[in-house]
């Protein structure tokens, strides 16, 4: 069977040649040195497994995604220009370097004339959200990472179907991976009612089907251009406040009423354009100004030229002079963020990281322990939430606060599309401060011995899990 040996030899040579080509691509394109070294080693020595994995997990940019605020695409750029013209009267002047950097990362201005409402209870959040949707008279925009076919998911579907049948335009966008269990009947009922829906991420170009590592992690609801909801809550029963395995579910969401809603709407338009190639045709609405709270909408993701969310977290660390409190269900920071946290603590800032005692991912939980030796000696405090599973994503840096979808991990830094509301409004900052103080009371302060006294195999598992941090 000499010919079979030649075929096998040819396949081996082909894989090694492909590994070398992809290694060059990784050298030129991978964002971090750690990721570059890992991929090059794997592609050289294990090309049979590494080449297919590289196509799925090694992409560094979300190919083809258009940033309307920074692009030359005629359709989106015109829509963005219209939005900016409408927002111009509400732009707020300021002299904050932190806010200035956030505006540069966002491509959007700080906007006044808003009312900001904080939600810390899942049921109250969905009650308010459903009321807003039911009150819409013109259009509703919905974008979720996870949408399940369960009690709360069915309730939302019924409301969207009813609104569409009543003549309200409804656009629904959901992540292809996060919402991959939606049954066809669930979607068919919405289609029959006139709901416009699309999955995000793997359905526009043939090569985008290989971009499984990128996810639209945003949670957005916009009603008539007047109200918007963003934050940590997806559409699933556990977000009402209870998970069958993790117990009490602690999350944070916010409602925005006012001009900043249009900035959220522009972000939705960008995502919809990627998924469908079209822009929703929403009729213009009168922009309300219920109060004078200011907020900046910060969308971030792998289509950005910079690692926008990672830079925002680093800037929050650098800005802080008295306190830096960060709540996230996942603590797997990269080298830049780790160093910024250490530097803040060393100059006397009260740096607190709030994470769950029990995570919904064992690998992520192990990886978090691996940072104890590195950051606790510098004065960084890690609190573990004891009441249940903590899923909120909140940053409090002195008198600046953000609430949104971004976590303290590499996936949010470089792979996920996120959206965050960022403000220095005194009233809202005070609310978030009290909320976090209550969360700390229900948490335990970690000690370095919590890691050092673990068995060697546990520490080995933690270190091994940390090696997977680029994709956790």
391 noted as active-site residue: yes
Q: List the catalytic residue out of 149, 398, 450, 454.
A: 398
Contact present, 229 and 129 (Cβ < 8 Å): yes
To the query of whether residue 95 is one of the catalytic residues in this protein, the response is no
Phi, psi of 396 (to 5 degrees): -125, 110
**Beta pairing class for 350-356 and 323-327:** parallel
> Which member of 219, 243, 253, 459 is catalytic?
219
Catalytic residue selected from 175, 224, 409, 425: 224
At residue 193, φ and ψ (nearest 5 deg) are: -85, -10
Dump the DSSP string for 205-232: SGGGGG-TT-EE---EEEETTTEEEEES
User: How far is 50 from 39, CA to CA, in rounded Å?
Assistant: 8
> Is 350 known to be catalytic?
no
User: What whole-number distance in Å separates Cα of residue 271 and Cα of residue 100?
Assistant: 25
CA dihedral 274, 205, 277, 200 (to 10 degrees): -40
Q: Is 398 annotated as catalytic?
A: yes
Give the C-alpha separation, 66 to 315, whole Å: 26
Cα–Cα dist 272/7, whole Å: 46
Q: Is there a catalytic annotation at residue 148?
A: no
DSSP, collapsed to helix, strand or coil, labels residue 400 as: strand
Beta bridge partners of 255: 117, 229
Active site residue 219: yes
> Which residue among the candidates 22, 79, 163, 217 is catalytic per the annotation?
217
243, 319, 391, 459: which one is catalytic? 391
Write out the catalytic residue numbers: 217, 219, 224, 391, 393, 398
């Amino acid at each position: 069977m000499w010919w079979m040996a030649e075929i096998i030899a040819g396949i081996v040579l082909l894989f090694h040649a492909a590994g070398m080509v992809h290694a060059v691509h990784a050298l030129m394109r991978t964002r971090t040195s750690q990721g570059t070294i890992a991929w090059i080693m794997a592609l050289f020595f294990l090309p049979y497994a590494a080449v297919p994995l590289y196509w799925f997990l090694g992409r560094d940019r979300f190919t083809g995604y258009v940033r309307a605020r920074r692009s030359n695409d005629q359709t989106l750029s015109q829509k963005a220009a219209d939005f900016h013209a409408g927002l111009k009267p509400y732009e707020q002047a300021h002299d904050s370097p932190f806010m200035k950097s956030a505006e540069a990362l966002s491509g959007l201005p700080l906007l006044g004339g808003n009312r900001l409402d904080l939600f810390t209870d899942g049921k109250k959040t969905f009650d308010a959200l459903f009321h807003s949707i039911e009150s819409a008279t013109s259009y509703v925009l919905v974008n979720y990472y996870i949408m399940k076919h369960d009690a709360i998911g069915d309730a939302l579907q019924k409301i969207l179907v009813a609104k569409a049948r009543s003549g309200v335009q409804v656009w629904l966008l959901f992540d292809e991976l996060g919402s991959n269990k939606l049954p066809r009947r669930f979607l068919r009922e919405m289609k029959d009612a006139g709901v416009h829906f699309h999955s995000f991420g793997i359905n526009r170009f043939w090569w985008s089907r290989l971009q499984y590592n990128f996810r639209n992690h945003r949670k957005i609801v916009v009603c008539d251009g007047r109200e918007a909801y963003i934050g940590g809550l997806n559409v699933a029963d556990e977000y009402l406040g209870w998970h069958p395995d993790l117990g009490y579910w602690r999350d944070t969401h916010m409602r925005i009423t006012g001009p900043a809603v249009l900035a959220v709407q522009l972000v939705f338009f960008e995502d919809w354009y990627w998924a469908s190639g079209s822009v929703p045709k929403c009729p213009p609405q009168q922009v309300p100004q219920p109060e004078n709270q200011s907020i900046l909408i910060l969308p971030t993701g792998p289509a950005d030229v910079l690692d926008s969310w990672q830079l925002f977290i680093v800037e929050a660390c650098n800005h802080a002079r008295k306190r830096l409190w960060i709540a996230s269900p996942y603590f797997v920071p990269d080298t830049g963020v780790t160093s910024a946290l250490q530097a803040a603590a060393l100059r006397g800032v009260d740096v607190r990281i709030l994470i769950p005692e029990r995570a919904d991912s064992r690998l992520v939980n192990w990886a978090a322990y691996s940072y104890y030796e590195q950051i606790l000696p510098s004065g960084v405090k890690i609190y573990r939430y004891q009441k249940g599973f903590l899923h909120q994503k909140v940053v409090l840096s002195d008198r600046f606060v953000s609430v949104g979808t971004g976590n303290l991990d590499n996936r949010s830094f470089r792979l996920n599309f996120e959206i965050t509301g960022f403000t220095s409004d005194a009233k809202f900052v005070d609310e978030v401060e009290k909320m976090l103080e209550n969360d700390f009371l229900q948490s335990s302060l970690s000690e370095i011995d919590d890691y050092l006294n673990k068995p060697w195999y546990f520490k080995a598992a933690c270190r091994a899990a940390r090696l997977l941090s680029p994709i956790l």
